[in-house]
Structure 1
Amino acid sequence: MDEVGVFEHCIGAGRLEGWFCSSSYDNEKTGWGHLESDSFEGHLFFHLQRSPSLRGVRYFRRDPVAFEVVEFNGRCEAVKLLLPSKEQNEEVWKVEPREVLGQTVEGRLSCSWQLVKAQNWGFVVSDFFKGTVFWHVVDNPEMVDLEFSQDDVVEFELYINTTRGDQVRARKMKFLRAAVKDPVAEKAEESSQRRLEKKHRWLVNWRKGPPPDWICKGCSYPNFGRNKTCKVCGHPRPPREEWPPEEEEELREDWRVLALLQPLGRHPPSP
């Protein structure tokens, strides 16, 4: 599995927790370092340029850290690194979510629409309360068909879900506006989106067998599937997205055999 495949489930999953593989002394000399976490296997790269809050901060190997994962230039990286002490300082003045029950507040989405579509739920954060709050598409029908990004701004109401052990949840969620992103994060998200779309196209058109025979679009010459370019004019083979499904190809082959046998008075073998 490639590097992106190892960390793919962490992209857009919100803030994760892990620990440093080296000290601030070593990372300051190189300008970069690595993290480990229970959320994935292996080492995740980070660059201090994309985590300015670490500049001048002293930490040691195995010290805990919170971070987010993005894909940048085909490589997964940890960004927005934050030490627990800094997180606590940001949260100290905020109230518990239960103290704003029934109120409509503004907040930010913690994951992208692709992740929510796959699991039917997500989390939101807000400047009005501590931590994160769970939300489900059943309680927020307006979010079902929307394509949103992490950190996009929404408004919602907090309530108690008694069927889940008095859990605080968000409902009546409405999209307000897209998040203002820095160029690096926006480029990383676009790259991640293109990779996911490419992977989806490959899965849709995946074949167990070899490439199908094809007719050249340039000169109409019939080519074997193994030919990457036309034997006559050099026109490239159609891309995988244009290949017919294997079931259709097998049916076409059955008709071809039947057409060859009928003039000879033979019958095709029974399956």
Structure 2
Amino acid sequence: MTTMIQGTPALPLRRIQPIGSAAAVTHYLKTQWPRVGGPSLRALPDTAFTEPSFIARYQPGTLTFPYLAACGPSFDDHLASSGLKAVADRLHMPIYKLAATELADPRRRLDALDRDRYASHVSTPGGYVEEPGFKTWTFQQFLPKREPLPGSPVSLDGRLFALRRPHDMGKRVFEKLLHRHIRNASLNEFLLTTAGRAHCAALGLVPEEQQRWTHYRFGPVPRIDKAEELYIFRPGGEDSDRFLIILERIVHDWVMGKDRRLPRNWRDRSQYRRRRSWG
């Protein structure tokens, strides 16, 4: 296969999946994908949540649902190359949205993603361009091979993880801590690394033009922000295992006072106060 982007041919790639495969990664590239949590990630001891010291300190708070989501061709036009699936196909990367919601019915979060067309825009020399298909978001399944630790405040609830945040950990702090733990696999950040630039070069792509953005509408005042919740992630096996370890460690270390450092820039102004020009 020879990929042509803006008139620049990329090197032919060796096919590793049969023609017609629905896999995002159909050709071999030598890129080493980052693993969420990085090389220093370690699981907690089996007794971490049954130790008297943890039990005495942990006061369960709000139920939160960490989720994995993707979007692709619509029901009406399943042959169209669109949505996050098209981005994954173009980049030959396993890409998903990793985030969390505390909505009692997590499916309502999908409705919001559809309305916002989350991650639908790219930045080009001519301005921001919206790509199609970002209105069919669905939850994907985590497929860990390990089980939560005994007494863990984290469980696998169908397609989603369910987590009881500590009573003194707010939703925004949890989200920022989660991103800090998995940001090494952030799509937008990886694209600008040496490995990410080499990967894009092999495909004839401009890294900055592959980063994803979301156009938020607040009446007459629009705002565009980077879609920071897209990650390189493989749901089957190790990545889901690592994600479970991260969720357990966030809760445990917060409760035990080992990691109460608020993430850098966590006090950023909220979306209701911040404006960014559109054009």
Q: TM-score range by the shorter chain?
A: under 0.3
More helix by share: 1
Q: Rg: which structure is higher?
A: 1
Give me the TM-score of the superposition, normalised by structure 1. 0.21
